[in-house]
């Protein structure tokens, strides 16, 4: 039996697991430092309080158990990968050997060293812990305002550094939630300010002008305060300084301005890009180590034209599927094939039941786009939840 290790239970790792789990001639081990798969694409709803945290996770124990005895889950962090010995060292100081390895450990928030005080004074939301912490912070503030009329009249400011997809979705969803909350509770909603900072001249840099225009107008309509065209230069406790000299005081700051590979990925002795992501061949294999694949945010993935593919959940899923496909080919004695990963479409949540949808040259916004986005999200997570229930039932039957 060949041993296949998958490091990381995110979008890429789960996609690879699903693709490989049907084979009974291999043992598959999924390793992650968390016992759950966090649905990051719905993190904006968790932070805004419109979705409970249990609806943003998939239990990895139950998921792996649902596939049978040849699939197992190890709840532990990875401290080192020895490519020459073909083994992974987990934090329990145990070695796990492999015949094939998929590195799918995702990424973490990139707190730029050039911005003094950024990491100490702001939070990232790449994981459930960060998102849940922010959710609790907001709910506590709302509760305090509801309990104390004097406190409700005090100004409260939230700064979101970075106006890419994540920053825009969080700003829109939070502002919509606050608008609805204060309207229903007859409190002064103009006492809360959400500041969205973009170092570029617009939000959603690089996207189609129509998408940028639509998003900008809707953010302004919601009441989000936009600061475009000036980067953050320095952050102090409760103060963000912009390069144009502007000072923004805040009670809470989120930073969504970029990602970087995990420290473990950076420590692997292979070629990396400036973000610490692993440089892979077109087949997603690591040069010199054909038995090792890197996918999702852990790798720098290019399309067939040599253009870098954005680090999205969709790219992670497609790369995870392709890595598993190539492992299947290798197991069958065939040569791996180059990946042809494409971003088929984009759906941006803009608060409440409003979203922007872009598929090729087709674009639409409003309620229908929102329902399409929700349908895509549910189409992804519902099958995983069903498998988790199956896995839990198997486990209970064994214990019973």
Question: Model confidence over 114-131: pLDDT tens digits?
Answer: 899 999 998 887 777 777
Q: What is the pLDDT of residues 306-353, one digit of tens each?
A: 899 988 999 999 999 999 999 999 999 999 999 999 888 899 999 999
Helix/strand/coil for 393: helix
Asked if the model's pLDDT at residue 187 lies above 80, the reply is no
CA distances from 304 to 278, 281, 338, 342 (A): 18, 12, 8, 9
> Higher-confidence residue: 20 or 149?
20
Domain spans of the chain, in order of start: 2-33+76-109+259-343, 118-255
Mean of pLDDT values over 223-238: 96
Report pLDDT for 225: 97
In degrees, rounded to 5, the angle at the alpha carbon of residue 108 between the alpha carbons of residues 349 and 222 is 25
Asked if the model's pLDDT at residue 150 lies above 90, the reply is no
Report pLDDT for 260: 93
Report field, pTM of the whole predicted structure over 0.85: yes
Mean pLDDT of the chain: 90
Q: Are 137 and 252 in contact (CB under 8 A)?
A: yes
* Cα–Cα distance measured from residue 122 to residue 255, given in angstroms and rounded to the nearest whole number: 6
* Cα–Cα distance measured from residue 389 to residue 27, given in angstroms and rounded to the nearest whole number: 22
Q: Hey, what are 21's tokens?
A: 């789990």
| Fold agreement between 2-33+76-109+259-343 and 118-255 | yes
CA distances from 73 to 87, 160, 317, 337 (A): 16, 36, 19, 28
For residue 88, what are the contacts with CB-CB under 8 A and spacing of at least 6?
5, 7, 31, 78, 80, 81, 82, 95, 96, 98, 101
Specify the CATH architecture of the domain 2-33+76-109+259-343: 3-Layer(bba) Sandwich (3.50)
DSSP string covering 96-147, please? Answer: EE-SEEEE---EEE---TTSBTHHHH-B--SSHHHHHHHHHHHHHHHHHHHH
* Cα–Cα distance measured from residue 77 to residue 65, given in angstroms and rounded to the nearest whole number: 20
The CATH number for 118-255, chosen from 3.30.2350.10, 2.60.40.420, 3.50.50.60, 3.10.310.70, is 3.50.50.60
């Amino acid at each position: 039996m060949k041993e296949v290790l998958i490091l990381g239970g995110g979008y890429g790792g789960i996609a690879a697991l699903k693709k490989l789990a049907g084979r009974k001639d291999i043992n598959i081990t999924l390793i992650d430092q968390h016992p759950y798969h966090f649905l990051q694409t719905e993190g904006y709803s968790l932070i805004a309080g419109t979705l409970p945290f249990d609806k943003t996770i998939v239990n990895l124990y139950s998921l792996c158990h649902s596939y049978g005895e040849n699939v197992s889950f190890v709840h532990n962090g990875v401290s080192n990968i020895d490519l020459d010995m073909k083994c992974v060292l987990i934090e329990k100081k145990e070695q796990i050997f492999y015949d094939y390895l998929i590195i799918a450990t995702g990424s973490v928030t990139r707190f730029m060293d050039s911005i003094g005080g950024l990491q100490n004074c702001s939070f990232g939301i790449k994981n459930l812990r960060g998102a849940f912490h922010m959710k609790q912070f907001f709910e506590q503030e709302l509760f305090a305002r509801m309990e104390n009329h004097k406190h409700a009249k005090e100004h409260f400011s939230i700064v979101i550094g970075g106006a890419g997809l994540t920053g825009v979705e969080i700003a829109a969803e939070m502002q919509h939630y606050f608008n609805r909350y204060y309207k229903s509770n007859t409190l002064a909603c103009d006492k809360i300010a959400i500041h969205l900072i973009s170092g570029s001249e617009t939000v959603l840099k690089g996207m189609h002008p129509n998408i940028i225009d639509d998003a900008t107008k809707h953010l302004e309509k919601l009441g989000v305060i936009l600061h475009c065209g000036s980067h953050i230069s320095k952050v102090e406790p409760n103060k963000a300084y912009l390069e144009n000299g502007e000072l923004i005081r805040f009670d809470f700051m989120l930073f969504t301005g970029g990602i970087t590979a995990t420290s473990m990925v950076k420590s692997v002795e292979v070629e990396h890009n400036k973000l610490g992501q692993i440089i892979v061949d077109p087949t997603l294999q690591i040069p010199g180590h054909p038995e090792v694949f890197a996918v999702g945010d852990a790798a720098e993935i290019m399309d067939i034209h040599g253009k870098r593919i954005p680090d999205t959940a969709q790219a992670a899923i497609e790369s995870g599927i392709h890595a598993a496909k190539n492992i299947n080919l290798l197991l069958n004695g065939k040569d791996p094939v180059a990946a042809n990963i494409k971003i088929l479409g984009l759906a941006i949540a803009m608060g409440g039941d409003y979203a922007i949808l872009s598929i090729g040259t087709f674009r639409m916004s409003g309620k229908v786009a929102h329902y399409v986005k929700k349908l895509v999200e549910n189409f992804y997570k519902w099958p995983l939840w069903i498998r988790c229930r199956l896995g839990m039932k198997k486990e209970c039957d064994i214990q019973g």
